[in-house]
Amino acid sequence: MKKNIFIAGVLVLMLMAGNAVAAPPVILESEILEATVYADRAMVTRVAEIKLQKGEHVLLFDNLPDVTERNSIQVNGKGKALLKDIKFTRLHFADITDEAVKVLYDKREKLSDEMTAANDVMTHAANEKVFVENITKKLTSTNKESTESVLDPAKWMEMVSFYRSRLDELDKEIRKTEKDKRAIQQELNKVNHEINEIANRQSKMKNQVSVLVNMKSDGPLTLMLSYIVYGPGWYPAYDIRVSTDKKNMNISYNAVIRQNTTENWNNVKIKLSTAKPNISGRQPELRPWYVDIMKPGTSAPAEKSLGEAGAVRMDNQMFLSKSADDKLKDEDDEQEMTIRTASIETKTTSVVFAVPGQNTVKSDNQEHKVTIGIENFAAQFRYSAVPRLSPYAYLKANVTNKTEYPFLPGKTSIFLDNNFVANARMNLVAAGEDFWTFLGIDEGIKVEHKLVKRYRKNEGIFTQKQKVIYEYLMEITNNKKTEEEIVIWDQIPISNNQAVVVELIEPQYKEDTDKLKKNEHDFLEWYFKPEAGEKITIPFQFSVEYPKDQKAVGIY
C-alpha cells in the first residue's frame, strides 16, 4: 500500500514538472474592440495579437477596471493553441521607486525656485518703473518754492526719450516674466498632480486576468477577453417630427450613453441591449399562503415577500470550464483555438442594437448621443380636451409601431411642422403595437367651459334629503380650415357611500356608443368631427343626493 502511495506521489510530481510554465508571463498589448451597453452595466471585449513559440505561455491582460465583475470573464480566440486555464486576480499597483519620487520632488523644488526668481524680477521691474515715472514727473513739473530752472531743449528731449525707452523695456520685461510664471505654474501643477497620483496609487487596486495557453507550434495567436463592468448605461431619447400636411410622423430613435469605467472606448463597436441582467432570469416561486386567527398572547408572524421561499440563487459561473484533460489535439490544420467550455444555451428575450460605424465614448461620465434608427410612420391625428381642467385642445397622433423592435420608455422632443412644441415622454411600445403621442396645444380649436347653474333643493317628506344639482355648458369651436376629430373628457363624482347617490342627468347614458362612452371611473368621453368653422355645444348636468342631517365630503 505504501509503495502504491509512493508511486502515485512520483507521478504527481512528474505531472507537475511536465506542466511547469517554461516562459515568464507576458503582458499583452490589447485594445477595446466592442462594448455592449445595458441599462446599468456593459460587456467590454478586448483583443490582443501576439506571436508565440511552441509550448506553454502565461499571457496577462493587465490594468482592467476596478469595477470589473470577476465572474463574467470570458476568453476565446484563434490560433493553434489550447486554452488551459484562466485566473482573475486583484493586485495592488506596483510601488513606484524612491528614485522616481525623488526626481519629482527635486523638480518641484527647482520650479518653486524659478517661480521665486520670477517674482523677484517682477518686483524689481515694478519698483524701477515707479522710480522712473517719479523722476519724469519731477523733471517736468514745478512747485511754488522751486525756482524755474532752464534746461537745454535738446538735453530735455534726450532725457524724456531715455525715460520713455526705459519704461518700454520695463513693460516688456514684466510681460515676459508673467508669461514665464504661467509656464512655471503649469509645470508645477503637473508635477503636483503626479505626486498626488503616486500617493493615491499606493492604496488602489488593479484587476488582472492571466491566461494559460499551450501552443502546438510556433505562430500567431489572437485572444479576445470579454468582461462585465458596472457603471456604464444608456437610455433612449426620441426626436419626433410630425407633418400635419403629409399626415406622417418621423421618429429618430436615439440612445444617450455614459460611462466612467476609467477606460476610454476609442473607435469601438457599440451595441445597446434592452436586456435587464440585474433582474433574475428565473421567475419567483409561490409558496403556501396561510391565514389564521391570532391567538391571545402571540404576535403576528413577520411578513415575507411572496416568492422568497423556494427561490434558487443563480450565481454566475466562469464561462470556461477547467477540465483535467489537457491533451493537445493531433490535427495540425485546426485553426480555431480549442476551448473547453460548458454548453450554454441562449434564449432571445431582448433586442440588441448595433450602432453603425465606430464610436468613441470617453470615461468622463458625460452623455454621448448616438442614433439607433430613423423611422417614418403614417399618422392619424385627433384633438383631445378636458375643458373643466384646461381651456386648450391638445393635438395627438396615433401610430402603429411597424418596426421589429420596441420603443423603450424615454424622453421625447416634439416638433410639429418643423417647429418645436413640447417635451413629453414615450411609454413602452412593443413591436406592432399602436400608441398615441401628444403634440402640444393648438389654439386653432377653441375650448370653453361654463358653469350655468349650481343649486340645492330638499326632497322627501319623511326622509329629508338634500340634492345638489350642477349644470355646465362646454363649447368647442373648430377654427381650422379642415374637418377635425376631437375627444372631450369630463367626469361625474363616484359615490363611496350607499347614502350618497350620484345621478347623470345630461347627457343620457345607457351604454357605450361611438359618440359617448363611460368608463369604470365615471369618466365621460364624447367624440365629434366638427367641420371647419363649426361650433359644438355640450350640455352637461348631474346631481348629488345625500341625507340632509349629514355632511357630504367631496362636493363643492
pLDDT in tens, 13-25: 333 334 444 468 8
Higher pLDDT, 224 or 342: 224
Taking each helix axis as running N to C, give the angle between helix 153-201 and helix 98-139, from 0 to 180 degrees, rounded to the nearest 10: 160
φ, ψ for residue 160, nearest 5 deg: -60, -45
Under CATH, to which class is 98-142+151-201 assigned? mainly alpha
- For 264-293, what is the mean pLDDT? 77
Q: What is the tens place of the pLDDT at every residue in 237-268?
A: 999 998 888 888 999 888 899 998 889 999 99
Q: Does the pLDDT of residue 195 top 60, yes or no?
A: yes
Comparing 484 with 144, the larger pLDDT belongs to: 484
Q: Which residues, other chains included, contact 458 with Cβ-Cβ below 8 Å and sequence gap of 6+?
A: 464, 465, 466, 467, 548
Amino acid at 183: A
pLDDT over 50 (residue 344): no
Say which range, 219-233, 308-322, 479-493, has the weakest mean pLDDT: 308-322
Q: Is the pLDDT confidence value at 38 over 70?
A: yes
Compute and round to an integer the Cα radius of gyration of the chain.
Answer: 41
Window from 194-198, 260-264, 437-441 with minimum mean pLDDT = 194-198
User: Is the predicted pLDDT of residue 330 greater than 60, yes or no?
Assistant: no
307-335 mean pLDDT: 35
Most confident region among 61-65, 168-172, 457-461 by mean pLDDT = 61-65
Q: How confident is the model at residue 2 (pLDDT cuts 50, 70, 90)?
A: very low
The closest of 85, 76, 79 to 334, measured between CA atoms, is: 79
How much is the mean pLDDT over the chain?
A: 79
Q: What is the pLDDT of residue 403?
A: 86
Question: Which range is least confidently modeled, 51-55, 287-291, 316-320?
Answer: 316-320
DSSP letter for each residue of 135-150: HHHHHT---SSSPPPP
Q: Which of helix, strand or coil describes residue 375?
A: strand
The mean pLDDT value for 305-324 works out to 32
C-alpha cell at 362: 470617453
pLDDT greater than 60 at residue 312: no
pLDDT at position 103 is 83
Q: Which residue has the higher pLDDT, 206 or 546?
A: 546
Is residue 308 pLDDT above 50, yes or no? no
Answer yes or no: is pLDDT of 489 > 80.
yes
Choice between 6 and 427, residue whose per-residue pLDDT is larger:
427
Distance from C-alpha of 114 to C-alpha of 108, rounded to nearest angstrom: 10
State the average pLDDT over residues 340-344.
27
Q: Looking up cell 504527481, which residue turns up?
A: 12
- 487 or 118, greater pLDDT: 487
Q: What percent of the chain has pLDDT above 70? A: 76
Q: For the chain, what are the domain ranges?
A: 98-142+151-201, 445-547
Q: Which residue has better confidence, 457 or 397? A: 397
Cα–Cα distance for residue pair 139/143, rounded to 1 Å: 11
Residue with more model confidence, 485 or 145:
485
Q: What is the pLDDT of residue 43?
A: 93
Does the pLDDT of residue 446 top 90, yes or no? Answer: yes
Residue 525: all three cell numbers together: 368621453
What confidence category does residue 355 fall into, taking pLDDT thresholds of 50, 70 and 90? confident
Residues near 239 by Cβ (< 8 Å), separated by ≥ 6?
Answer: 251, 252, 254, 412, 413, 415
Looking at per-residue confidence, does 262 or 306 come out higher? 262
Q: Among residues 263, 443, 421, 332, which one has the least CA distance to residue 81?
A: 332
CB under 8 Å to 476, separation ≥6 — which residues? 385, 387, 393, 445, 446, 447, 448, 486, 488, 528, 530, 535, 536, 538
Is 80 exceeded by the pLDDT of residue 376?
yes
| Nearest one of 74, 171, 93, 105 to 132, comparing CA atoms | 171
Q: Which helix (H) or strand (E) holds 33?
A: strand 30-37
pLDDT in tens, 83-97: 888 999 887 665 555
Residue 132 · residue 173 · CB < 8 Å = no
